[in-house]
Amino acid sequence: MNDMPKEEFRKAGHQLIDWIADYLNNIEKFPVLPKVKPGDITKRIPQTPPVNGEEIEKVLSDIDKVLLDGITHWNHPGFMAYFNTTSSGPGILAELLTAAFTSNGMLWKTSPTVTEMEKSMMNWFRQMVGLPENYWGIIYDTASTSSMHAIASAREQLNLGFREKGVAGRKDLPKIILYCSEQAHSSIDKGALLLGVGLDGIRKIPVNEKFEMIPEKLEEAINEDIKKGYKPFCVVATVGTTSTTSVDPVEQIADIAEKYNIWFHIDAAYAGVTAMVPEMRWVSKGWERADSIVINPHKWMFTPLDLSILLTRKKDILKRAFSLVPEYLKTAQDSEVENFMDYGYQLGRRFRSLKLWFIIRYFGVEGIANRLKQQISWAKEFSSWISDAKDFELVAPVPFSTVCFRYNPGNKTEDELNKINEELLEKINTTGKIFLSHTKLYGKFVIRLTIGGIRHERRHIQNAWELIKTIARG
C-alpha cells in the first residue's frame, strides 16, 4: 500500500531525464504550433480512470503517443509569440526537486528553508534590479496574482474598513477608482474586478503616439473623480506594455501619485528583468518611488512557469489586508519570523524560490544580463530589417525585444492591409517553423515578434525574417 518502489522510481527517473534531454535537444524537429483540432487529444485519454494501477513504463511511453501532438512548444526557438516564456536546464531541475520536497512554505515552521530561501532570493533579486533595501519581496504564481495583491494593498491603505465591513451593501463607502493606461494588461482589470472596484471603477488613461500614458490626462481624470466625490486609490504604470512594450513615464506618474496620496503600482511583468542590464538601467528610473512592482522571472528569466515577484516597500499594509491566523496555525516562533501566508490569500505555498537559487547561481547575474542584452540587440537588428524593407513597416518603437510590424506593399486601404496581415500571420504560423502573435493598434492589425527564449540564436531571427519576407512577397 506504499509508494512506487525506490528502484522503479530511480529507473523511471533516469528514463524521464533522458527523455527531457532528448526532447530539448531535438525540439526544432517539432512544429512549434500543434496541428490538432479541438478534442483530438481528449480522444486519446480514456473517459474513465483505470481501476487498477498501470506500469510506469506504460505511462512514460504515452508521453509521445498521447501528449506531444497537442503540445505547443514554448521552449522551441521558433516560438516568438506573446512573450516567450522558456525553461532553462537549472530551472527544470529545481522544479523536480521542489516536487520531491513538496515542502509547504505557508509558515516558517512548516519548512524553515522554504521561507528563508524565499527571503534570501527576494533580497538577491531586489539587488539585481537595483531597488533599495526598503523593498521587500514575495513570490506568487503569476503577475495577475501579484498585481491583485498590490491593488488589495492600495485598497487597504484607504483605511475604509474593507477587512471588517467588506464592500457589499455599504452606503458609507465612496466609489474607489483605479487608474492605468489604455495599454495596461487585462490582469489589472481582473484584480479590480475581484476586489469590488468593478470595471466601472477603472479609468483607462489615453496614451501618446508611442503608446505611453499621458500624465496630464491622468491628473485630469483624478481631479474629475475627486469633484464627483469619488476616491482615487491606485495608479498602475506599465513598464513594457503587452502590445508594444511601451514604457509609461514613471517619474511623472510618481509625482501625481504622491501629490494625491495614491498607491503607485508598476507592472513590469515582462520588461522588469532588463533593469539587470547595465545599458538598460534607464528602465528602472523612478522605481524607488513606487509602492509596489511586479516582475515575472517566468516571463523573461528562463524560469519554468510559474514564478512572479511582487516587491513592495509597504509590506505591513499588504499584511494588514491579508493576515488572518486561526489557532491551529499559531506557532511559537510567530514573533521572530515572517510567515508568508500572512501576505496573501493562499495558505499552501510551493517552494518556488528554489528555481531562482538554481538559475541565478548557474547563469550568474552577468550571464542572465548578457543574454537579455543580446536578445534586445537581435530585436533591434530585426527591426532595422523591417525599417529598411520598403514593403514592411514598424508600427511601434522597440525598447526591448518585441517588434510590432506589418506588411505594407502600398496602394492598399487600411481594411485591405488588415486582411493581408491577418492572412500573412496565419500562413506564417501554419508552417510550424515559427509562431508569431498579433495585436491591434489604432485599428491596425499588427504582427508581433518577441525574442526572449533561452534557446534563441541569431540564426533563428534571420530565418524568421526570411520566412516572413518570402511568404509576404509570395
Ligand X SMILES: *Cc1c(COP(=O)(O)O)cnc(C)c1O
Q: Would you tell me which residues interact with ligand X (CB under 6 A)?
A: 83, 142-144, 185, 187, 238, 240, 242, 267, 269-270, 296, 308
- Give the span between the Cα atoms of 264 and 252, in whole angstroms: 11
Closest alpha carbon to 131 in 288, 307, 18: 288
- Give the span between the Cα atoms of 416 and 437, in whole angstroms: 19
CB neighbours (10 Å) of residue 394? 16
Q: How many helices (H) and strands (E) does the chain have?
A: 14, 11
Judge whether 464 and 28 are in contact, CB under 8 Å.
Answer: no
**Residue 83 or 363: which CB sits closer to ligand X?**
83
**Residue 143 or 356: which CB sits closer to ligand X?**
143
Question: Residue 43 gets which letter from DSSP?
Answer: G
**Residue 31 or 137: which CB sits closer to ligand X?**
137
Question: DSSP 3-state assignment of 157?
Answer: helix
Q: For residue 56, with 0-12 CB atoms within 10 Å meaning exposed, 13-18 middle and 19 or more buried, which class applies? A: middle
- In the complex, least distance from residue 140 CB atom to ligand X, rounded to whole angstroms: 9
**Residue 322 or 400: which CB sits closer to ligand X?**
400
Here the cell at position 30 is 517539432
- In the complex, least distance from residue 36 CB atom to ligand X, rounded to whole angstroms: 23
- In the complex, least distance from residue 145 CB atom to ligand X, rounded to whole angstroms: 7
Please state, in angstroms and as integers, the Cα–Cα distance from residue 283 to each residue in 214, 277, 302, 384, following that order. Answer: 18, 10, 20, 22
**Residue 128 or 307: which CB sits closer to ligand X?**
307
- In the complex, least distance from residue 146 CB atom to ligand X, rounded to whole angstroms: 8
- In the complex, least distance from residue 361 CB atom to ligand X, rounded to whole angstroms: 24
Closest alpha carbon to 404 in 430, 437, 377, 433: 437
- In the complex, least distance from residue 273 CB atom to ligand X, rounded to whole angstroms: 12
**Residue 75 or 308: which CB sits closer to ligand X?**
308
Amino acid residing at 223: N
- In the complex, least distance from residue 238 CB atom to ligand X, rounded to whole angstroms: 5
Residues whose CB falls within 8 Å of the CB of residue 203, separated by 6 or more in sequence, listed in order: 177, 178, 179, 180, 221, 225
- Give the span between the Cα atoms of 356 and 302, in whole angstroms: 10
**Residue 187 or 429: which CB sits closer to ligand X?**
187
**Residue 88 or 111: which CB sits closer to ligand X?**
88
- Give the span between the Cα atoms of 95 and 99, in whole angstroms: 6
- In the complex, least distance from residue 306 CB atom to ligand X, rounded to whole angstroms: 7
Q: Is the dihedral of CA 278, 283, 286, 288 positive or negative?
A: negative
